[in-house]
Amino acid sequence: MKFIRILPIILASVLTAFTAFVALDTFVIPRAYSVVTDSPVTEFSEAETEAETSSEAVSADPVITSTSYTDDDIQITLETYYVNDTYVYVADVVVSSSGYIKTALANDTYGRNITDTTSSIASDNSAILAINGDYYGSQEKGYVIRNGVLYRDKAESGQEDLVIYYDGSFEIISEDEISAQELIDAGAWQVLSFGPALLEGGEVSISQNEEVDRAMASNPRTALGIIEDGHYVFVVSDGRTSESEGLSLYELAEFMQTLGVETAYNLDGGGSSTMYFNGQVVNNPTTNGSRIKERSVSDIVYIG
């Protein structure tokens, strides 16, 4: 009888311990699956390859200011806007080759709960400009293709991805409709799995009330967009502070539309939203508004 009385206590304790382990395994315990490898193919155009080789041979020193970077192959201009009671940082990027749009993983390792700050990952990879990526490490599914290498091919039903191809073009795809290997075969250079898409064909592609799961309406945001071949924008907004409220997804989409963006895609936001430029974090990353501090993330998108 005594055992019967304490059985619920034992079961409750086991359940609590199991729940704690699952939470730790999901959000805390690092698990390394593979180290970063070089792209197995180089499918950039012959003209782009020649331009890169030529610039390496005769390139002049880059011209760098607090809001710009210019060399033979990369031009970046940083502007700060104030819209919807929110500070928004826009890096206008023109590159001679899509090969300059790169990604990097924390600690050069693909895995779960392996993280570092955007600025640290950027510095480790000699990035000129960087933003946080899609935080792939917080998910068990969703395609992960980085610098032409396929790391995860498990599809997430209903997931909308951004594909950056070797020719520099952007495409929004559904993981329900195409496999990761098919994307590799089609020339995918980067695949980012967060979303949703903000603009397609220059038109807003989300509803006014659409949101990322569990997100508030106004948040720090990170997004990536293409204006035309070789011309991109990296966008980060502050939020959750008295100085900067934050943007809804619809407000972010409308803002990027004013920049002339054709295709835009939402990346991980909130406390992850960080922009790094010329060796400095230029925005004010915060998780809850009480202090300005970078959140560690799984990955970045960068120019370098």
**Domain ranges (residues) in the chain:** 2-303
Predicted pLDDT of residue 46? 47
pLDDT at 21: 42
What is the per-residue burial (b if ≥16 Cβ within 10 Å, else e) of 273-288?
bbbbbbeebbbbbbbe
Whole-number pLDDT of residue 133: 98
pLDDT of res. 117: 98
pLDDT at 18: 41
Q: How high is the pLDDT of residue 6?
A: 62
Q: What is the pLDDT, as a whole number, of residue 9?
A: 54
Per the omega criterion (within 30 degrees of 0), is the bond before 220 cis?
Answer: no
**pLDDT value, residue 2:** 54
DSSP state, residue 213: T
- For 210, the 3-state DSSP assignment is coil
Q: What is the pLDDT of residue 217?
A: 76
Please identify every stretch of the chain with a pLDDT value under 70, giving residue numbers as ranges. Answer: 1-28, 37-59, 213-216
* pTM of the entire predicted model: 0.86
Instruction: Determine whether 21 is exposed, middle or buried from the number of CB atoms within 10 Å of its CB (0-12, 13-18, 19+).
Output: exposed
248 with 216: CB under 8 angstroms? no
